[in-house]
A and B are shown apart, each in its own frame.
Chain A
């Protein structure tokens, strides 16, 4: 095996929308609009601004975020961290939105990066003795699938 600790995985979703980039940009950067499709938030599209997403379904009710890049109409990036007292539930990731104009609309790409394949083991070992538990659990899940 190679150095898996430095490798990360991403979730990428891409979709073509029949709407101009400026309009999509508003839906991605104005808190009241973001809330309508994503989550309650207090985002300010300014690099370095910290903000939170709030949702009941999240392990500790909110996500800790920081704006990392803003290129109006074309690129928005923020950190997306879910820190929990339980290390097995913790996640540090980055969400990046890229808007590319097409003939009659916009190609929207979302990449959430930073998923570490070793993450659950690495964090789990720190507390609660979750390391063995989750390793075994993986085996159980593999069997039940």
Chain B
């Protein structure tokens, strides 16, 4: 869960990537060309950002003929919009790590 949140946070810290992702959330499936039209950056730059979003699990690509159709994987945003859920899992894990340390420490 931590790893996931980390990647998601980093990925969406870039305004261009955030705009691309937001558009996919809003409009559903789009090709790299459709995304480039409104992105104000070059097509290779859009492709690079899409690759990054994809490796963060935020976007998935569906190959159809010579085109790839991209869509938003909104489930990946769960840790981002839910600090409470994130920290509930975080602290449980840290308590385990603390217990482990206490067992190794001298009195």
Chain B residues touching A, range: 35 or more
Contact of B77 among A38, A59, A115, A141 (CB under 8 A): A141
Compute how far the CA of A140 lies from the CA of B92 in the bound complex, rounded to whole angstroms: 27
Given contacts A57-B5, A57-B6, A144-B74, contact A134 B87 (CB under 8 A): no
Main secondary structure of the interface of B (DSSP, over half): helix
Compute how far the CA of A136 lies from the CA of B26 in the bound complex, rounded to whole angstroms: 9
Instruction: State whether B102 touches A19 (Cβ < 8 A).
Output: yes
Give the residue name and chain of the B residue nearest to A22 (CB).
B107
Query: Given the complex, which residues of B lie within 8 Å of A110, measured CB to CB?
Result: 91, 95
Check B38 for interface membership: any CB of A closer than 8 A.
no
Compute how far the CA of A33 lies from the CA of B94 in the bound complex, rounded to whole angstroms: 13
Query: Given the complex, which residues of A lie within 8 Å of B2, measured CB to CB?
Result: 57
Query: Given the complex, which residues of A lie within 8 Å of B12, measured CB to CB?
Result: 86
Query: Given the complex, which residues of B lie within 8 Å of A59, measured CB to CB?
Result: 9-10, 13
Chain A residues touching B, range: 35 or more
Given contacts A141-B74, A141-B78, contact A9 B18 (CB under 8 A): no
Query: Given the complex, which residues of B lie within 8 Å of A120, measured CB to CB?
Result: 81
Q: Which of A81-97 contact B (CB under 8 A)?
A: 84-86, 88-89, 91
Compute how far the CA of A77 lies from the CA of B22 in the bound complex, rounded to whole angstroms: 38
Question: Contacts A11-B84, A23-B102, A88-B81 given; 6 further ones with Cβ under 8 A?
Answer: A11-B91, A38-B94, A58-B9, A59-B10, A138-B81, A144-B74
| B positions within 8 Å CB-CB of A | 2-3, 5-6, 9-10, 12-13, 15, 18, 22, 25-26, 74-75, 77-78, 80-81, 83-84, 87-88, 91-92, 94-95, 97-102, 105, 107
